Structure 1
Amino acid sequence: MTGTEPPAPAASGEAEAIRGFARRLGLPGLVDVHTHFMPRNVLDKVWAYFDSAGPLTGVEWPITYREEEGRRVALLRDFGVLAFTSMLYPHKAGMAEWLDDWAADFAARTPDCLHTATFFPEPGAPGYVRRALDRGARVFKVHLQVGGFDPNDPLLDDVWEVVEEAGTPVVVHCGSGPAPGAFTGPGPVGRLLARHPRLRLVVAHLGMPEYGEFLDLADRYEGVHLDTTMAFTDFSERLAPFPGDELKRLQGLGDRILLGSDFPNIPYPYVHQLDALERLGLGDDWLRAVCHDNAARLFELPHRSP
């Protein structure tokens, strides 16, 4: 990907609708901290899993943006997404390091991608995490549900120390949605934060469905952020509705909520995530912070003019 490819067409003017959303808020564009790019053989297996309604999903889950890599990048650019991630993750030992190599190459040829890396509890993890940071990794992704591991595994002790010291954000799928895992839920992550209170953790999917418990952790630890990935959409509200009595607290934590989408692996158009956030009625200042300003601050991106 050289950055010179023509933009991919967006169906029914979706790109203009998304850009219009940003313009109405006075934003130069969006920052999406939860998008997926990964080696094609890995992505094919992920898509096959969704197609089969695998046990971690259990529902029909059509992939809206089943496109080649270059077209997916072009679509995000056409949507006005200024920065995005390549969330990728191993499901077993021996995968993380070569995923990190792929992600480093992807970030080098895709300048608007925040260089993403990952890790797994294995003896070599501290070494390859340090190498990823040396190569410019700006965010890590950890998937406790798919990986099936405890974040407090002793094999990760040095890893957490390294990323805590570096101040590098880690996006963690730690909620029990769409299906619980052996180490999902607020308990394991809460124990991790008690040991490493300065970690910058980004709780994926707002911690769905344990929304309140993960908001509790954000209240307790100033480094805890949450991303909006799939939350409040019609799809997720049917499965794990956000409790209305927590909206005021969500608004109060508005400086630590980040836009996430799960693009391209979403069963609805991208614009629906933005519509779902807007219909919460939490105000334009909250939307501006969530859709751009908070991530711009966290990742030290160019700030918009006041």
Structure 2
Amino acid sequence: MATVKTYDGDVTELTTRYGLPGLADVHTHFLPPRMQRRVWEHFDRAGPLIGRPWPITYRGSESDRVATLRRLGVTTFSALAYAHRPGMAADLNDWTLAFAARTPGCLPSATFFPEPGVMAYASDALERGARIWKLHLQVGGFDPRAAELDAVWGLLAEARAPVVVHAGSGPVAAGFTGPGPIGEVLARHPRLAVIVAHSGAPEYAGFLELAERYEHVRLDTTMAFTDFFEQMAPFPRELRPRLRELGTAGKVLLGSDFPNIPYPYEHQIESLARLELGADWLTAVCWTNAQALFAARG
């Protein structure tokens, strides 16, 4: 297995090699400063939902982290935030939408939680331009089939608004992770545009099946295929042909989890390249698929 390097030079070399105008990363995080500090403290403690030491590689200021993405050639990115208890989501949406408004290249991001008033603030965020959404079923510990969310799922399906959902059971399973619960949501709302975070690790096959079954279900590559994830949840080699087909069909998108990654950013790109699924596949995953998805939504 390749050794992880400790510099960021290879990203430019890789984008040049494949003729990419840049990288489009749908799974990056920017949070209000107080919340960001608490998240990093949780990672530093290797809390129970992390399960192992997880050093943060990119722990600079907000402006430093934006500058780092630009230096790496990431020209399209997100500011994914997610609520883990009631009463958080609306304020997070105010912050992430304001961040995107002042940060060129950032997709306006929003979140929601099963609680009274969720439809009102979700509708408001959509009207204010939210273009990508985030839910974390493991950290939030809620059932995506909750009655309070049904109308929101319908709203987002009608708007064709992509929702990045951490639904896989990695690194630690929770009550509503796995392909079953979110699969039931998709059965009810088949037009819903779900982006399965981390390619659904470790239930790769189940989430590949959802992406094959539903037209608007996609996978992101966040941390998948890296040495760090391969030690915990290796991607089965026999699934690579299906991953290739999905990628060339526009249904696999680059994600990284920047800045909360325990290795340099280029290792994610190297990990995709070493799958040996072809230059066209890598180009689609790292650039074309996300550009097509968000261009289609204005």
The verdict on a shared fold, with TM-score over 0.5 as the criterion, is yes
Q: Which residue of structure 2 lines up, in the alignment, with residue 132 of structure 1?
A: 125
8 Å Cα contact 2:252/2:285 also seen in 1: yes
Aligned counterpart for 2:20 among listed residues 27, 35, 43: 27
Cα deviation for residue 19 of structure 1 reads 1.6
Q: Which residue of structure 2 lines up, in the alignment, with residue 8 of structure 1?
A: none
Q: Which residue of structure 1 lines up, in the alignment, with residue 260 of structure 2?
A: 265
Confirm whether residue 180 of structure 1 aligns to residue 173 of structure 2. yes
8 Å Cα contact 2:190/2:214 also seen in 1: yes
Aligned counterpart for 1:169 among listed residues 145, 158, 162: 162
Q: Which residue of structure 1 lines up, in the alignment, with residue 115 of structure 2?
A: 122
Give TM-score scaled by structure 2 length.
0.96
Separation in 2 of the partners of 1:190 and 1:275?
31
Q: Which residue of structure 1 lines up, in the alignment, with residue 246 of structure 2?
A: 253
Separation in 2 of the partners of 1:267 and 1:32?
17
Confirm whether residue 74 of structure 1 aligns to residue 62 of structure 2. no
Deviation digits for residues 258-293 of structure 1, max 9, x if unmatched? 000000000000000000000000000000000000
Helix, strand or coil: the match of 2:290?
helix
Which AA in structure 2 matches 1:300? A
Q: Which residue of structure 1 lines up, in the alignment, with residue 39 of structure 2?
A: 46
Task: Structure 1: state its 5+ residue gaps.
Answer: 1-10, 302-306
Aligned counterpart for 1:297 among listed residues 279, 287, 292: 292
Aligned counterpart for 1:232 among listed residues 219, 225, 242: 225
Q: Which residue of structure 2 lines up, in the alignment, with residue 283 of structure 1?
A: 278
Helix, strand or coil: the match of 1:187?
helix
Which AA in structure 1 matches 2:230? E
Deviation digits for residues 1-25 of structure 1, max 9, x if unmatched? xxxxxxxxxx9761x4212211111
Aligned counterpart for 1:274 among listed residues 258, 269, 274: 269
Q: Which residue of structure 2 lines up, in the alignment, with residue 192 of structure 1?
A: 185
Helix, strand or coil: the match of 1:171?
strand
Aligned counterpart for 1:62 among listed residues 55, 60, 63: 55
Which AA in structure 1 matches 2:45? S
Which AA in structure 1 matches 2:71? D
Q: Which residue of structure 2 lines up, in the alignment, with residue 4 of structure 1?
A: none
Separation in 1 of the partners of 2:196 and 2:21?
25
Which AA in structure 2 matches 1:194? A
8 Å Cα contact 2:7/2:264 also seen in 1: no
Separation in 1 of the partners of 2:210 and 2:84?
26
Deviation digits for residues 67-124 of structure 1, max 9, x if unmatched? 1000000000011101100011011000000000001110110021000000000111
Separation in 2 of the partners of 1:139 and 1:124?
20
Q: Which residue of structure 2 lines up, in the alignment, with residue 7 of structure 1?
A: none
- Structure 1 residue ranges (4+ consecutive) displaced by more than 3 angstroms after TM superposition: none
Which AA in structure 1 matches 2:74? V
Which AA in structure 2 matches 1:256? K
Deviation digits for residues 119-138 of structure 1, max 9, x if unmatched? 00011111111111111100
Deviation digits for residues 39-89 of structure 1, max 9, x if unmatched? 011111111111001001110100000110000000000111011000110
Helix, strand or coil: the match of 2:164?
strand
Confirm whether residue 206 of structure 1 aligns to residue 199 of structure 2. yes
Confirm whether residue 36 of structure 1 aligns to residue 33 of structure 2. no
Which AA in structure 1 matches 2:171? P
Separation in 2 of the partners of 1:257 and 1:167?
17
Which AA in structure 2 matches 1:43? Q
Separation in 1 of the partners of 2:45 and 2:12?
34
Alignment of 1:75-94 (within 5 A): 75-94=68-87
Q: Which residue of structure 2 lines up, in the alignment, with residue 152 of structure 1?
A: 145
Identity %: 59
8 Å Cα contact 2:6/2:263 also seen in 1: no
